[in-house]
Chains A and B, each alone.
Chain A
């Protein structure tokens, strides 16, 4: 059981984030939920790369022969974090635009606004 527990934890975080996205009544909350979904992939990647009794793959203080964890998944996690941060920034910028245009950031309300007025005149 312990051999797969970190993977299961990653899956659990993924589903919690999805729950937040599915039931969100606030676009900022939805962006944060998406960030939670993304953080599950960090945990999954790092869990895949971990090796018992090994240390960080940086040979500043240890000799090159020492056991280290997998650096590839760590580099992938770095990519993941960078892309996640930019996606969050972009979505928050869109949220500001939505708030200016519709005066609300509740997805349900925006949907009904659009149904009522059709194509609104914007700014």
Chain B
């Protein structure tokens, strides 16, 4: 067997080789901060032409919307796989006739107060980030994560039961699938209208208007719903594992 010493030696040889090649490659790269970005300039021009103020959002959901669909299904498949992998223990626990029952935990009153004050504020910010994805930094991916994190402030405040009430898992199962489906449906709707798949066929509106940039806000909301639900579902499974472990340790 390779001992830790041999492993380190092998690593040093490999890392030295990679490092050498990497440095040689980097020395030939255009310098950091140089002004010529031909692809970037074209992407910015295309974003402005489509009246999308957030050029990153335009690249993600308009100029390479098809790639983002693939990315969305990577997320979908990975969430599904994680849920399947984590499912087993749940069935074991249920077979043993145990139930999950957790009341308020003993945490600082200040932490609890802040948790419940910040929870609605964070959810509002998350919704804002999703909806304004086309005109300000953010979008469906970022806002979805903020929404999912906001819900778990209830857990940080020590109240697992409130968290369980706030996130009806069967509803989120459906929301996640609906988010992924909506993205595809928007693509086919564009196809049906005579344009290409996921072409931006809706009216573009005025730059920086909330309802500007055509399909981008729609796709942002679809992705936001999917990402938010997927993160909550995965975290729910991980929390379940952790809590049943604690319970077993106590018993």
Q: Chain B residues with Cβ under 8 A from A123's Cβ?
A: 88, 92
Do A18 and B15 touch (CB < 8 A)?
Answer: yes
Instruction: Mark A44-78 against chain B: 1 for CB-CB distance below 8 A, else 0.
Output: 00011111100011111000100111111111001
Cβ B79 vs Cβ A71 within 8 A: no
Whether the Cβ atoms of A78 and B60 lie closer than 8 Å is yes
Q: Does B31 contact A (CB under 8 A)?
A: yes
- B182, CB-defined interface residue at 8 Å: no
Known A56-B137, A58-B137; judge A22-B33 contact (CB<8 A).
Answer: no
A-B contacts besides A50-B33, A68-B40, A93-B238, 6 pairs, CB < 8 Å: A7-B29, A57-B44, A60-B136, A68-B44, A90-B82, A96-B241
Residue numbers of A with Cβ under 8 A of B are 2-8, 11, 14-15, 18-19, 22-23, 47-52, 56-60, 64, 67-75, 78-79, 81-83, 86-87, 89-90, 92-94, 96-97, 100, 108, 111-112, 123
Interface residues of chain B, those whose CB is within 8 Å of chain A, are 1, 4, 7-8, 10-11, 14-15, 18-19, 22-23, 26-27, 29, 31-35, 37, 39-40, 43-44, 47-48, 53-56, 58-60, 64, 67-68, 71, 74-75, 78-79, 81-82, 85-86, 88-89, 92, 135-137, 141, 207-208, 227, 234, 237-238, 241
